[in-house]
Amino acid sequence: MIYRQASLSRNIVQFCRFLRQQGFNVSTEEETTTLRSLQFIDYNNKEIFSRALKAVLCRSRSQLEQFDALFTEYWKELGKALDSKVKTRTNPTIKPGTNEASFKALKFWLNGNKESEIESTASYSIHQNLSNRDFSNVPALELPEMIRTLKALSKRLAAQTNKRYQQSEKISQPDLRRTLRKNMRFGGELLQIAFKKPKHNRLKLVVLCDLSKSMELYAAFLLQFIYSFSQVYSRIETFAFSTSLHSISNVLKQNDFSSALQALSAQNFNFNGGTKIGESLHAFVVDFAARLLNKRTIVIILSDGWDTGDTSLIGQSLEIIHTKAKKVIWLNPLAGYAGYRPDVAGMKEALPFIDVLAPVHNLESLRKLSKWL
């Protein structure tokens, strides 16, 4: 159902949610770009407005073909919702602090009126409402939208990781950045064109995810992220641990995430118990390191660092992993808190052998993961 909102900016955000329900991979980054684009276009012109949204929100030919019909459907239904509200009002009164001005501005826009929107689009920040929302504190009403955004973000990051380019002397795809740099000496005239070609990406990822009791509030979101990422990026091996280590790569190849969770539950891995990070990392080194680790492998550990076992095994195991792998990234949900310090015994053991220690408590922190891949 399409609900009426009181400003153009809020309705654009709701339109992005509507597209996600139709299978579009629209993340909060695209939502923010769309809102910012309103500063540079005449959004009272519906054709220009539609084209601007189409350029930002469509990522494939099939989406381009579907967009016009979905755009028309959404704003038509929205117009009906607004007309219904107008008809049912009698003797309307404007009270200080209400959204009446914004409501009228949206109605004017839908009818092609040249009135400018009263409410600044910058006043509604999707980042504050969703991207920076801690996973452990997501209200039930926001869960569906959070999951849809998380899925879109993970697939986009996976696609970015897949698409790497290298310089090429052959006439292939133009490299705009290198072209501009090469022609600076000619006063900006484009006399020499630089090209690039897709780079054969052999990067492998190994993910070790802590599903113990202390990670309970974050586990479902992290598993959803890994699941969606692995649907796009095939060179990934995933393990989960609590008191022992288990490979879950095959489980995550289920057709849908709900089936994957059911399969995990059916295998009775005893998750949501205590945490033995050291023993789990040691088991990985003994059973899998020789086969999976090399200088084209990035190891990602998702854990809060709380260990109820032998913490010395963390340092010993990570030293071996760090030597064999290209990079070790430790993502800790607690690192998102302003006063966080890696003082627990497990983190102290791990720090000398970690290349990156970063938070993983919200969508924004996951988005930054692309910097290290």
Amino acid 116: pLDDT: 41
Report phi then psi at 238, rounded to 5: -120, 135
E strand or H helix at 291: helix 290-292
Amino acid 137: pLDDT: 84
Give the confidence band of 198 by pLDDT, cuts at 50, 70, 90.
Answer: low
Distance CA 273, CA 256 (A): 26
pLDDT in tens, 127-174: 446 788 888 888 877 888 888 888 888 888 888 776 654 455 555 677
The pLDDT of 264-282, averaged and rounded, is 83
Q: Are strands 356-359 and 327-332 parallel, antiparallel or unpaired?
A: parallel
Amino acid 293: pLDDT: 96
SS3 11: helix
Report phi then psi at 247, rounded to 5: -80, 130
Of the listed ranges 72-81, 91-100, 354-363, the one predicted with least confidence: 91-100
pLDDT in tens, 339-354: 899 999 999 999 999 9
Positive or negative torsion for Cα 108, 111, 116, 119? positive
- Please determine, for residue 102, whether its predicted confidence score (pLDDT) is greater than 60: no
Q: Are strands 165-168 and 245-247 parallel, antiparallel or unpaired?
A: unpaired
Share above pLDDT 90 across residues of the chain, in percent, rounded to a whole number: 37
- Please determine, for residue 246, whether its predicted confidence score (pLDDT) is greater than 80: yes
What angle (nearest 5°) sits at the alpha carbon of residue 23, between those of residues 149 and 152? 25
Give the confidence band of 200 by pLDDT, cuts at 50, 70, 90.
Answer: low
Q: Where are the domains of the chain?
A: 5-80, 165-198, 204-371
Give the confidence band of 96 by pLDDT, cuts at 50, 70, 90.
Answer: very low
pLDDT in tens, 39-50: 788 777 888 889
Determine how many CB atoms are found less than 10 A away from the CB of residue 299. Answer: 27
Amino acid 67: pLDDT: 94
The pLDDT of 23-29, averaged and rounded, is 85
Check: CATH 3.40.50.410 for 204-371?
A: yes
Report phi then psi at 323, rounded to 5: -70, -40
Of the listed ranges 77-91, 226-240, 261-275, 283-297, the one predicted with least confidence: 77-91
Of the listed ranges 57-71, 140-154, 205-219, 279-293, the one predicted with least confidence: 140-154
Give the confidence band of 301 by pLDDT, cuts at 50, 70, 90.
Answer: very high
Amino acid of residue 238: T
Distance CA 209, CA 229 (A): 14
Give the confidence band of 93 by pLDDT, cuts at 50, 70, 90.
Answer: very low
- Please determine, for residue 88, whether its predicted confidence score (pLDDT) is greater than 70: no
Give the confidence band of 120 by pLDDT, cuts at 50, 70, 90.
Answer: very low
Give the confidence band of 101 by pLDDT, cuts at 50, 70, 90.
Answer: very low
Of the listed ranges 98-107, 160-169, 212-221, the one predicted with least confidence: 98-107
Distance CA 151, CA 318 (A): 30
Select the more confidently predicted residue: 289 or 173: 289
The pLDDT of 232-246, averaged and rounded, is 92
Closest CA to 175 of 199, 197, 190: 197
SS3 245: strand
Average pLDDT for the chain: 80
Amino acid 69: pLDDT: 92
